[in-house]
């Protein structure tokens, strides 16, 4: 083996080795980004303000535990886009749990919710 002179152009082997090394480093960095992001403390989104009101003669309560209408639980689901839908109407979503509860009251009329939420499975 001999030492390459300072002014000589790089060999094909040296160029390929440098390109391969750069590709490996870029791939490793891309693979580590999600891992390093996951280690950072997550920002918490503050929950919507808790609400309690009487709407059309029905008592609505929105808390961290869920939504209740006249003390009975309303099955609420959060969609991927951040909106909410309920077991009362799966076809329409609402921006807040309170809007959802009001719509459920409109849909229920004088009917009461069941005491226990139905279980899927």
Kindly list the distances between the CA atom of residue 14 and the CA atoms of 27, 47, 95, in Å, as whole numbers in the listed order. Answer: 20, 57, 59
Query: Over the stretch 30-42, which tens digit does the pLDDT of each residue have?
Result: 887 777 777 666 5
Where b means 16+ CB within 10 Å and e means fewer, 82-98 reads eebbbbbeeeebbeebb
- Per-residue confidence (pLDDT) for residue 89, from 0 to 100: 82
| pLDDT over 90 at 58, yes or no | yes
For the entire predicted model, the pTM comes to 0.55
Tell me the C-alpha distance between 100 and 4, whole Å. Answer: 75
Query: Over the stretch 6-30, which tens digit does the pLDDT of each residue have?
Result: 678 889 999 999 999 998 888 888 8
Tell me the C-alpha distance between 28 and 5, whole Å. Answer: 33
| pLDDT over 90 at 1, yes or no | no
Tell me the C-alpha distance between 58 and 69, whole Å. Answer: 7
């Amino acid at each position: 083996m001999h030492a390459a002179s300072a002014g000589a152009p790089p060999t094909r082997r040296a160029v390929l080795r440098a390109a391969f090394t750069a590709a490996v480093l870029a791939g490793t960095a891309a693979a580590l980004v999600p891992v390093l992001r996951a280690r950072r403390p997550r920002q918490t989104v503050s929950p919507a303000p808790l609400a309690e009101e009487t709407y059309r003669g029905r008592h609505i309560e929105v808390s961290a535990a869920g939504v209740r209408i006249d003390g009975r639980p309303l099955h609420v689901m959060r969609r991927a886009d951040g909106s909410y839908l309920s077991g009362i109407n799966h076809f329409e979503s609402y921006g807040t749990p309170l809007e959802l509860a009001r719509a459920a009251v409109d849909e229920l009329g004088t009917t009461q919710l069941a005491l226990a939420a139905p279980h899927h499975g």
